[in-house]
Structure 1
């Protein structure tokens, strides 16, 4: 059995894969959030007063 020192241990391919998948998931979530936020209609300051007065 090979004993490695603390400085010789690395996360390897599994660690890279996990971080890459988290990055891709974050990108897709932000893209979806921006799409949903663009659908929201925010009333402007003057819009409410004009409708009530009319």
Structure 2
């Protein structure tokens, strides 16, 4: 049988290599999806909550000292809570 453009094909070896590449690609995509699923990017609501908590943590630093000073004055005046 003479070789020409109609008789030359990749054969079983070419098909096997192509199939191996497809299988490897499927496993790589599954692995990538698992890794991306593990990423926990902060959500906008979480960022706003952190900003609010930081602001609240900065505010009470001055209040407890004022509150501590006010308590002895109330006890001296006979005020009860």
TM-score for the superposition, normalised by structure 2: 0.61
Unaligned 5+ segments in structure 1 are: none
1:7-44 alpha-carbon deviations (Å, 9 max, x no partner): 11110011001100000000000010011011000211
Cα RMSD (Å): 1.1
Instruction: Give the unaligned 5+ runs of structure 2.
Output: 54-81
Q: Which has the higher contact order (CA 8 A, sep 6+)?
A: 2
Larger Rg: 2
